[in-house]
Structure 1
């Protein structure tokens, strides 16, 4: 037996065969390793008629005879001659050799659409054969675009998945659509802490996807002619890089997306007059998404904001896709209220109360929202209240009479109680799905409670209430369970706990996520169970301390 031959199983599966008997691939997969098929006869199959005609053309050129073709047609025919050579190389090879060639091409990073098998005739036209010159195949892109659509579109409602897939399925590769789709996939994988296996069985690293997008953007010089695709790609890359801990790169990409929005006139009310209603709403949502993202990012990292909303801007549509978009529109309302209230030169106690009441009128836990939307709305609402209180504390005379009033020095304690009540029935995975932004918001609340305990360490509560120390430990434990979280936050929280006499050890579930760790592959398959988040809720762990009284019968507002 010729051990150099590719075995039947490797030929059918189109994987690399080491030629042994049995081969390593079959041994690993526990399949029979045989070489029973008949090898195709090697050697040339004859020259095609079109090839003969082109050879005559080349011969005339070399002999100095005038060509009847123009220069552009001649270049086109010469290219076709080269492509025919590739086709004939595949055609003359036996089925085993074809598998080896295909494996080499796959290892080189090229993916195939409708690649012919050993019993099929090879494609007769190269654009069909090499229609996908990118790293990630459609087979990998599509499931993650589906996950974006079902899980994260309510959070980032700016890309129509079906329209993007239609562009990706075109015969001619659409590089802008591919860059956008790849950036969405990377952001989705990182936001939801998902891992995916490539065709070769290796874990696909989102940073590799982002590197390819960066390279393609440099080649195509996207900055000279920015489009909405380029703007959206910059935004999703911003999301991905913040998860990878590259805050400067992430901030610059967000600024780039905002700059593109202004260059495309998305900030001008007149811009929307020339579009149909669906396009108008899509552009509006993109501008508002950048607005609320910049406000949150700038507040968390203490950098200036540059965006503002013109009073003449069209309204976001509250009727179309109301179930999906209502939470997003509520977030826009909250951030606009925060922007308007914090832009004044001076603040009064009335301004503080007015802003607080505006936020509290936004319903955050309605039955029309899913858990992801509820988590985003509820935590963001409390975080904005806290940020405005911090902004006002040096400008408004506060009272120490009660901690239920936003004008109280001890307001963060009642706010934290309300926050814990809202999120107690949510799973840690639901909170994690909002990424580092959610972690930082919870940290701000936790750190403020620690400040209040330090300010008044002997504050007493009734036996039926959760004390400030209990709240602090609960919040710190939640933050500690964030997978792959900010490594600087846990030591800070542990130090704060120790400083006020609470030596509880925070044991994070996972503090360092690497893509070859078994913890990152908790989903049994890369696609099937990625679409479902865990049902384990915080209430299961803290129900004893919260109790039915504090969750159901006590009001903090």
Structure 2
């Protein structure tokens, strides 16, 4: 309610229109731009996670965000704003038919958005990297309503196995930062990680044969899923009443019952073959 009220006030002031900024002093214009972009990022993330309607659309002719008095913070904010701008264009469409070529192009654009060479804090890096992967799996799920996905697609974003790639990226990224850094982003981050894990679990359940060969890798899809589940089990202290976590665990049990577990190749002779997650050094098999 408060977010919707803030967005409405901003629209009444015209902050979402390019005309509002004509004649404004540069500093004042930049402050107004930061407000409207912050609202845009917040609303887009919130409405996507909860499947609520969006009301804020930004004028494509808005002036550019610029860096002035606080470069580290503003560089990271501008990068995040560009990421959400690319995500919004991918999800809302650009007026062209939503074909395989369209989704392949949008996947490329979303993947290529970077934080830039400027320094940022671990808090900012974790938010950007994990949010980007979440956006990619949301776009992939959306594409299923418009195109046919296949296991042998040349573009990874058009592959039915895409959640495996995204889950591996996420598992790698959560190893790069202290748990406290990721948990600092609260419920929103928890929901993003759950969506990635659930997407992988659903594909493992529906198409187990597509992953039989991959499970022979040092770190197979089920190992990646186990790692994400372990991380989420203790996210912000964990909770026995977490419905999403129970659903994820139920899916994992069903996967274990329906898929014959393949033997795994171990890097070290003394590793425990019964361990669910024996090797956090999965970076070597990701990307």
CA pair 367-265 structure 1, distance change in 2 beyond 3 A: closer
CA distance in 1 between counterparts of 2:169 and 2:3 reads: 32
After TM superposition, the structure 1 = structure 2 runs for residues 228-243 of structure 1, keeping only pairs within 5 Å, are none
Q: Structure 1: state its 5+ residue gaps.
A: 1-251, 503-541
Using the alignment, how far apart are the partners of 1:403 and 1:478 within structure 2?
32
Q: Are residue 362 (structure 1) and residue 113 (structure 2) matched?
A: yes
Q: Which residue is 2:92 aligned to?
A: 343
Measured after TM superposition, the shift of residue 257 of structure 1 is 0.6
Paired residues of 1:428 and 1:481 also in contact (CA < 8 A): no
- Following superposition, the deviation at residue 378 of structure 1 comes to 0.5
Pair 1:545-2:262 in alignment: no
**Cα deviation, residue 331, structure 1:** 1.5
CA RMSD of aligned residues (A): 2.4
Following TM superposition, by how much is the alpha carbon of 1:277 offset from its aligned partner in structure 2, in angstroms? 2.1
In the TM superposition, what is the alpha-carbon distance from 1:367 to its structure 2 partner? 6.7
Question: 3-state DSSP class of the match of 2:6?
Answer: helix
1:431, 1:468 → 2: CA distance? 22
Matched position secondary structure for 1:307? coil
Asked if the contact 1:403/1:413 (under 8 Å) is kept, the reply is no
Within 5 Å, which residues of 2 pair with 1:142-157?
none
Question: What is residue 15 of structure 2 aligned with on the other side?
Answer: 266
State whether structure 2 residue 148 is matched by structure 1 residue 397. yes
Using a 3 Å threshold, how does the CA distance of structure 1 residues 323 and 312 change in structure 2: closer, same or farther? same
- Residue 500 of structure 1: which of 247, 255, 259 is its match? 255
Q: How does 1:107-122 map to 2 (within 5 A)?
A: none
> 1:320 and 1:396, CA in 2 relative to 1: closer, same or farther beyond 3 A?
farther
2:74: which partner in 1? 325
TM-score, normalising length: structure 1: 0.45
Segments of 5+ residues of structure 2 without an aligned counterpart are 258-275
Equivalenced residue count is: 263
How big is each residue's C-alpha offset from its partner over 1:447-466, in whole Å with a ceiling of 9 and x where there is no partner? 00101110222422265431
Counterpart secondary structure, 2:236: coil
1:78-120 CA distance string (max 9 Å, x none): xxxxxxxxxxxxxxxxxxxxxxxxxxxxxxxxxxxxxxxxxxx
C-alpha contact (below 8 Å) 2:197/2:229 kept by paired residues: yes
Q: Is the 8 A contact 1:291 1:307 kept in 2?
A: yes
> Quick check: 1:284 aligned with 2:21?
no
Superposed displacement of residue 368, structure 1: 1.2
In structure 1, what is the Cα distance between the partners aligned to 2:42 and 2:238? Answer: 19
- 1:364 to 1:473, Cα distance in 2 relative to 1, 3 A: farther
**1:28-67 residue pairs with structure 2 within 5 A?**
none
| Residue pairs, 1:181-200, within 5 angstroms | none
1:297 Cα deviation after fit? 0.7
| Contact map agreement 1:404 1:411 (CA 8 A) in 2 | no
- Give the equivalent residue in structure 2 for 1:310: 59
Aligned position for 2:225: 472
2:123–2:181 CA contact under 8 A, matched in 1 = yes
Cα separation, 1, equivalents of 2:112 and 2:68:
20
State the match for 1:451 in structure 2.
202
Once the two structures are superposed, what CA deviation does each residue of 1:208-260 show, in whole Å capped at 9, x if it has no partner?
Answer: xxxxxxxxxxxxxxxxxxxxxxxxxxxxxxxxxxxxxxxxxxxx111011011
Distance 1:363 1:384 in 2: 14
Higher RCO structure, 1 or 2 (CA under 8 Å, sep 6+): 2
| Residue 554 to residue 466, structure 1, CA distance change in 2 (3 Å) | closer
Q: Against the structure 1 CA distance between its residues 462 and 390, is the aligned structure 2 distance closer, same or farther, given a 3 Å change threshold? A: closer
Secondary structure, aligned partner of 1:473? helix
Contact 2:227–2:277 (8 Å) recurs in 1: no
Question: Could you say what secondary structure the match of 2:256 adopts?
Answer: coil
SS in 1 for 2:235: coil
CA–CA separation in structure 1 for the residues paired with 2:178 and 2:153: 32
- 1:498-537 aligned within 5 A: 498-501=253-256
SS of the counterpart of 1:421?
A: helix
- Normalization by structure 2: what TM-score? 0.84
Say if 1:545 and 1:412 are closer, same or farther in 2 by CA, change over 3 A.
same
Match of 1:301 in 2: 50
Residues 414 and 270 (structure 1 numbering): CA distance in 2 closer, same or farther, change over 3 Å? same
Equivalent residues of 2:223, 2:277 under 8 A apart:
no
Residue correspondence of structure 1 range 68-83 to structure 2 within 5 A: none
Q: What is the Cα deviation at residue 363 of structure 1?
A: 2.3
Residues 215 and 221, structure 2, Cα contact 8 Å, conserved in 1:
no
